[in-house]
Amino acid sequence: MTKNTAFRKHILAAATMMAMTFTATGASAAEKVTLQLKWVPQAQFAGYYVAQEKGFYKDAGLDVTIKPGGTDISPVQVIAGKSADVIVNWMPDALAAREAGVPLVNISQVFDRSGLMLTCKKASGISSPKDLKGKTLGVWFGGNEYPFFNWMNKLGYKPDVDIKVLKQGFNVDPLLQGQADCISTMNYNEYWQLIDAGMKPEELITFAYEDQGVSTLEDGLYVLEPNLKNKAFVSKMAKFVKASLQGWNYAVSHPKEAAEIVVGQDASGAATLEVQQRQMENVAKLISHANTKQMGYLEPAAYKRTVSVLLSGGSSPVIKKDPGDKAMSHVVWDAASKL
Amino acid sequence: MNTETFRQHVLPVSVIVLAAILFWYCLTIGLNAPGAIARVLPKNGHWGYGDFVLTTLNMARPVLPAPHQILLDIWHSLTQWSLSSPRNLLLHTWVTASAALTGFSMGVVLGLLLAVCIVHSQTLDKALLPWIVASQTVPVLAIAPIVLIILGSLGITGLLPKAVIAMYLCFFPVTVAMVQGLRSPQKLEMELLHTYATGKLDTFWLLRLPASLPFLFPAFRVAIASGLVGTMVAELPTGAQAGLGARLLTGSYYGNTIQIWSALVMASLLGLLLTALVSLLERIVMRTRRTV
Amino acid sequence: MKPLHSGYLSLLLSLLMTGVALTQPLQQTATDILWTVHSPAMMIGMTLLAAALYAIWSPLALFHSAVFTFLTALAGLQLLRLGALAQPAAGYWLLVLSLALLAQLTVQRLAEARLAHLPQGAVAALFGGWLLYFWQLLVTVFAVPQVLLPTPLAILQAIMDNAGLLAGDFVQTVLKSVVIGYLLGSGLGILTGILIERFPFLQRGLLPLANLTSTIPLVGVAPIAVMWFGFDWPSKAAVIVLVTFFPALVSTLAGLQATGKLEQELMYSYAASPRLTLLALRLPAAMPFIFNALKVNSTLALISAIVAEFFGSPTAGLGFRISAEAARMHMPVVWAAIVVASLVGSGLYALLVRLERRVTFWHPAIRGHHR
């Protein structure tokens, strides 16, 4: 920082005491970014926590606030209420929200594979998706039900006619208690909770959405479309994306350290190191481009596949019209790779 | 006096508590049995009755944890971690208590103001009371995230949004009881004051307010309890920060049943403490009133 | 301060504001002052002036009150039809304030009209109508995103579009969970209260325990209930029993102990048995307390059922609808479900008030309350 800018900063500070609005020009004050996560602090978001803890954000000249999510916190609502600049969200939810009038745009896709699975007890006589008919299935709602209903539609099963759907809470008890034959699980989280609870892998059978051809893109970064017209915002986001991806690369290479960082960030004191480390190792499997040039790049083909899966919802598709290329943008990612 | 207190209080409470704990242990064995047989005990059936009971009482993921498991968990959390650690339950209890008390105070002030307005203004009585009732039928949890986001976009975060939700639940019982209490003076007494040409304000201080006190304190007790619930409800969508509500959420989420129950027990103890404080206040206030 | 004075003060203020508003631009972008006769602002201003002047020179009677309300509502309607202004300026806000003052006065006039044949909820309905109107107006003007707060009209539309769905939710939540849980919980609470009143030993032992259970936060019980009683209505009913039991018990005990010494001694001098004392004196005296608990419980039960459904439910129920649709960003549907819940809760409450008047017609709190 030259003397000149320092002097100018003083003048600026004096002049804007009332308004407290620092323009990004001249002042090298850290730019503020607020990130809203989809769920509680866990290794699913390790990259952001690592970037925070390791100072990657700070080095990029950013002051990042990471807001954890919760049961009824919808990241979309938060960003629509202007309480966040960027959110982590799944693409089905983001596109549905876009249709509901919140113009979300994907700026970077971190997970290129889906971790969503349906896990069933073998004892309930299920060995292939055909056997799901007449069974009770636990499904997460809250924007995560779209892939499931698409899949059932593909199988030709009507909810509440051919299958009984339960609104699954956010744990695996329904399967343990025998209240459901199958439940939704993530391959990095709930599946292992079942194993931890004493189920044996050979007692379970899992159907990964990825294998059923009904997978949709999961954790990606989304911003509001009008903001992308603002050059300053795009450059700020480029720094953010670059630092976040750096954090992700680090987390994938150092799962143990990443897990420690995540556990340290959990204000509720419920996360444990061993669980988070295992989760980190499994999350790493969903990021096949880690430590490559392609990291964080949203493949247009994958985007189109997700859109077509969501459009094929039969009587009640998730989205009614194709958003075209409007819901994705490489502007930020391109700028980030040039930094 | 000592034997008297024993007979009057200690004995009945301990008898009931003992009965409850015994019942709890039986329930624990019964509820955990299927899980224990399916997942923990050896599959070949080589286990005796003693093994079975021990297993059900010490499961890692029980349907109902045994009392000693919960007490141990609380004890560990209180003794092995510093007070500032998120693993110490006292920290969470304090976070919840502070928000609940703030909300309760706000709720009581609002409730009393509303009640006084309603009793003294025909317009407000007719226009407002039905809506106050209707306000309580709005499910708080559905509103909580919206409230939090709206307040968050105004830059209000932390304790206050939770307190607002608690207030929303607290003011209602206070308002209803206070309206009833302020209207409870007999016609005779009202007319007596009327013959003295007492003004509205003096009538309020001399007659209406004292008459409303017996109605008010039970309402306070209900209000503080629901304020506590409100705070914990508000702690769910705030995104698993600190607080007993967050402990419940994460416990339920990670399948840590013992953690859920520890948080529940702590919350109940906190509620007990708060209602005890209200009762103490009631005693002090009522003692100054010479009843017939 | 006499109500008439406060009324005149509002009227004068309103007249003043409307007058000033007509000399101010409506929007920050507009350069012309609104002295053109055909401009919408002029029309609104004139209607407001007419309403205020009418209110000043008309007596307090229902017919005049209705005309005044009609004029004010007309002005409001015109204001709403302006739609979302890009940048509302001083003139616009003065008109809104002026309208707010008059609106408040319409409610006051109706309340003071003291008419026997005016239905009971009329004043509240008018008040609620104005609240909804200003909600609609402000959300439109500030262009609040639909995902935060939809307009009342959008909610109404959602109620009509999803009537069948909401009816199914009503059956699932109210007719199954709430009714059963409420009757069980409150009934058990009252019965326990009557029983342990007779046994001081039990009372001293159970009350601290009841206090303890009362403070068990329902949020924590809901997932446990789902774990024990399954996803359908029994788990919700169980939560409601737990939540409603304590207020009923505490209020019953407080009510049974509320009788004066004089009455008790009178019963004693009649050599009345404890049972007779209970039936003839204590229970009737406890009724206001019990009804208080029942009223609080009715709303508590409904909320509990809805909250409990957040933690696992079949794919029907008001709570399910709220959480699922909120995630889908269909906020009007969420609010439609909330409206249904509120209507049900208010209905239950009104029913209890009716019943209370029937049962405790002799009590000073009811008797002394001139309608």
**Nearest by CB: B141 against C260, C310, C343:** C310
Residue A44, pLDDT > 80, answer yes
**Spatial contact of A186 and A116, defined as CB atoms under 8 Å apart:** yes
> What is the distance between the alpha carbons of residues B54 and C54, in angstroms, rounded to a whole number?
84
Q: With bands split at pLDDT 50, 70 and 90, how would you rate the model's confidence at C84?
A: low
Residue C174, pLDDT > 50, answer yes
Most confident of A195-199, A301-305, B122-126, B242-246: A301-305
Question: What are the backbone angles phi and psi of residue A173, rounded to the nearest 5°?
Answer: -55, -40
Rounded mean pLDDT of A261-281?
A: 87
**Nearest-CA neighbor of B135 among B112, B176, B181, B169?**
B169
Rounded mean pLDDT of A209-233?
A: 92
Quote the pLDDT of residue A204: 92
Nearest CA in chain B to C209: B17
Would you call A142 and C223 a contact, using CB atoms and an 8 Å cutoff? Answer: no
**Spatial contact of A143 and C327, defined as CB atoms under 8 Å apart:** yes
Most confident of A248-257, B39-48, C72-81: A248-257
> What is the distance between the alpha carbons of residues C260 and C365, in angstroms, rounded to a whole number?
16
CA distances from B218 to A195, B186, C251 (A): 48, 21, 7
Q: Kindly list the residues of chain C whose beta carbon comes within 8 Å of any beta carbon in chain A.
A: 145-148, 223, 226-227, 230-231, 309-315, 320, 323-324, 326-330
Out of A321-330, B133-142, B214-223, C347-356, which region has the weakest mean confidence (pLDDT)? B133-142
Would you call C216 and B264 a contact, using CB atoms and an 8 Å cutoff? Answer: yes
- The encoded tokens of residue C293 equal 């608990």
Q: With bands split at pLDDT 50, 70 and 90, how would you rate the model's confidence at C74?
A: confident
Helix H or strand E encompassing A116 = strand A116-121
Residue A10, pLDDT > 60, answer no
Residue A6, pLDDT > 60, answer no
Burial of B47 (0-12, 13-18, 19+ CB in 10 A): middle
**Nearest-CA neighbor of C221 among A179, A116, B101, B248?**
B248
> What is the distance between the alpha carbons of residues B258 and B265, in angstroms, rounded to a whole number?
10
* Residues on chain B touching C131 (C-beta within 8 angstroms): 131
Rounded mean pLDDT of A44-56?
A: 95
Residue C261, pLDDT > 50, answer yes
**Nearest by CB: A69 against B38, B39, B239:** B239
Quote the pLDDT of residue A248: 96
Quote the pLDDT of residue C214: 67
Would you call A101 and C145 a contact, using CB atoms and an 8 Å cutoff? Answer: yes
Tokens 């970014």 correspond to A33
**Nearest by CB: A268 against B38, B40, B242:** B242
Percent of chain A scoring above 70 in pLDDT: 89
Q: Is B249 on the interface with A (CB under 8 A)?
A: yes
Residue A25, pLDDT > 50, answer no
Rounded mean pLDDT of A302-307?
A: 90
Nearest CA in chain B to C110: B123
Q: Is C278 on the interface with B (CB under 8 A)?
A: no
DSSP helix/strand/coil, A34: strand
One-letter amino acid at B143 equals I
Q: For residue C27, list its beta bridge partners.
A: C88
Q: Residues with Cβ < 8 Å from B7, sequence gap 6 or more?
A: none
Q: Which of residues 134-193 of B touch C (CB under 8 A)?
A: 134, 136-143, 145-146, 149-150, 172-173, 176-177, 180, 183-187, 190
Q: With bands split at pLDDT 50, 70 and 90, how would you rate the model's confidence at A196?
A: confident
Residue A5, pLDDT > 60, answer no
- Tell me which long-range contacts B120-128 makes (C-beta under 8 A, separation of at least 24): B120/B200, B120/B204, B122/C111, B122/C112, B123/C3, B123/C107, B123/C108, B123/C111, B123/C112, B123/C123, B125/C111, B126/C111, B126/C123, B126/C124, B127/C107, B127/C111, B127/C123, B127/C124, B127/C126, B127/C127, B128/C124, B128/C127
Give per-residue pLDDT as tens, C6-55. Answer: 577 778 888 888 888 777 776 666 555 554 555 777 788 888 888 888 87
**Nearest-CA neighbor of B226 among B69, B66, B108?**
B108
One-letter amino acid at A226 equals P
* Residues on chain B touching A197 (C-beta within 8 angstroms): 39, 60-61, 255
**Nearest by CB: B268 against C212, C262, C322:** C212
Residue C255, pLDDT > 90, answer no
- Where residue A133 falls (left for φ over 0; alpha for ψ -120 to 50; beta otherwise) is beta
Would you call A268 and B250 a contact, using CB atoms and an 8 Å cutoff? Answer: yes
* Side-chain half-sphere exposure of A29, counting CA atoms within 13 A: 14
Quote the pLDDT of residue A22: 38
**Spatial contact of A199 and A87, defined as CB atoms under 8 Å apart:** no
Rounded to the nearest integer, the mean pLDDT of chain C is 81
* Chain B interface mutation, best of A268, A274, A275, highest count of B Cβ atoms under 10 Å: A268
**Nearest by CB: A171 against B236, B241, B255:** B255
**Nearest by CB: B222 against C127, C221, C296:** C296
Out of A105-114, A328-337, B36-45, C136-145, which region has the weakest mean confidence (pLDDT)? B36-45
CA distances from C217 to B96, B208, C242, C258 (A): 12, 34, 10, 29
* Chain C interface mutation, best of A166, A167, A225, highest count of C Cβ atoms under 10 Å: A167
pLDDT by residue for chain B (292 residues), tens only, comes to 567 777 777 888 888 889 889 998 999 888 888 888 877 777 777 777 888 888 888 887 788 888 999 999 888 888 887 777 777 888 888 988 999 999 999 999 999 999 988 888 877 887 888 888 778 777 776 677 767 777 776 667 778 888 888 898 889 889 988 888 888 777 677 777 778 777 777 777 777 778 788 888 888 888 888 888 888 878 876 555 778 888 887 787 777 788 888 888 888 888 888 888 888 988 888 887 655 3
Quote the pLDDT of residue A227: 93
Residue A189, pLDDT > 80, answer yes
Q: Is A21 on the interface with B (CB under 8 A)?
A: no
Would you call C322 and B275 a contact, using CB atoms and an 8 Å cutoff? Answer: no
Most confident of A213-217, A310-314, B189-193: A213-217
* Residues on chain B touching A83 (C-beta within 8 angstroms): 149, 152-153
**Nearest by CB: B268 against C124, C216, C258:** C216
**Spatial contact of B242 and A268, defined as CB atoms under 8 Å apart:** yes
> What is the distance between the alpha carbons of residues B86 and A267, in angstroms, rounded to a whole number?
6
Per DSSP, helices labelled H in C171-232 are 179-198, 200-214, 218-229
Q: Is C303 on the interface with B (CB under 8 A)?
A: yes
Distance of CA A299 to the CA centre of its chain: 16
Quote the pLDDT of residue C371: 40
- Higher pLDDT among residues B204 and C347, named by residue: C347
Quote the pLDDT of residue A286: 93
* Residues on chain B touching A73 (C-beta within 8 angstroms): 145, 148, 237-239
**Nearest-CA neighbor of B94 among B242, B248, B252?**
B242
Q: In what order do the strands lie in the sheet with A182-186?
A: A204-208, A116-121, A182-186, A136-139, A164-167, C313-314
Q: With bands split at pLDDT 50, 70 and 90, how would you rate the model's confidence at C366?
A: low
* Residues on chain B touching C349 (C-beta within 8 angstroms): 133, 137
Rounded mean pLDDT of C282-298?
A: 86
Q: For residue A186, list its beta bridge partners.
A: A116
Number of H helices, E strands in chain B: 13, 0
- The encoded tokens of residue A25 equal 């020009």
**Nearest by CB: B237 against A72, A266, A270:** A72
Quote the pLDDT of residue B15: 86
Nearest CA in chain B to A189: B254
> What is the distance between the alpha carbons of residues A6 and B198, in angstroms, rounded to a whole number?
71
Residue A12, pLDDT > 60, answer no
Closest CA of chain A from C87, distance in Å:
19
* Residues on chain A touching B38 (C-beta within 8 angstroms): 198
* Residues on chain C touching B245 (C-beta within 8 angstroms): 217, 219
Nearest CA in chain A to C317: A167
Quote the pLDDT of residue C38: 54
Q: With bands split at pLDDT 50, 70 and 90, how would you rate the model's confidence at A27?
A: very low
Closest CA of chain A from C315, distance in Å:
6
* Residues on chain B touching C326 (C-beta within 8 angstroms): 142, 145
Would you call B254 and A72 a contact, using CB atoms and an 8 Å cutoff? Answer: no
Q: In what order do the strands lie in the sheet with A220-224?
A: A62-67, A31-36, A86-89, A220-224, A104-109
> What is the distance between the alpha carbons of residues B117 and B122, in angstroms, rounded to a whole number?
9
**Nearest by CB: C250 against B126, B190, B218:** B218
Evaluated on CA atoms A191, A194, A200, A203, the torsion sign reads negative
Per DSSP, helices labelled H in B154-256 are 159-182, 187-195, 200-203, 209-235, 244-253
Q: Is A317 on the interface with C (CB under 8 A)?
A: no
Rounded mean pLDDT of C65-80?
A: 85
Most confident of A15-29, C74-88, C125-139: C125-139
**Spatial contact of A98 and A104, defined as CB atoms under 8 Å apart:** yes
> What is the distance between the alpha carbons of residues A112 and A110, in angstroms, rounded to a whole number?
6
Quote the pLDDT of residue B249: 78
Q: Is B145 on the interface with A (CB under 8 A)?
A: yes
> What is the distance between the alpha carbons of residues C152 and B20, in angstroms, rounded to a whole number?
50
Query: What value, to the nearest 5°, has the Cα angle with vertex C362 and ends C357 and C368?
Result: 80
**Nearest by CB: B228 against C112, C209, C215:** C215
**How many other β-carbons are positioned within 10 Å of the β-carbon of residue C131?**
14
- The encoded tokens of residue B223 equal 């209000």
Percent of chain A scoring above 90 in pLDDT: 46
Rounded to the nearest integer, the mean pLDDT of chain A is 85
- Where residue C111 falls (left for φ over 0; alpha for ψ -120 to 50; beta otherwise) is alpha
Q: Which of residues 251-270 of B touch A (CB under 8 A)?
A: 251-256, 259
Q: What is the DSSP letter of B39?
A: I
Query: What value, to the nearest 5°, has the Cα angle with vertex B157 and ends B152 and B162?
Result: 105
- Higher pLDDT among residues A118 and C309, named by residue: A118
- Higher pLDDT among residues C26 and A327, named by residue: A327
> What is the distance between the alpha carbons of residues B241 and A54, in angstroms, rounded to a whole number?
22
Quote the pLDDT of residue A19: 39
Residue A54, pLDDT > 90, answer yes
* Side-chain half-sphere exposure of B265, counting CA atoms within 13 A: 18
**Spatial contact of B66 and B25, defined as CB atoms under 8 Å apart:** yes
Neighbours of chain C (3+ CB pairs under 8 A): A, B
Residue-by-residue DSSP string for C126-158 = HHHHHHHHHHHHHHHHTT--TTT---HHHHHHH
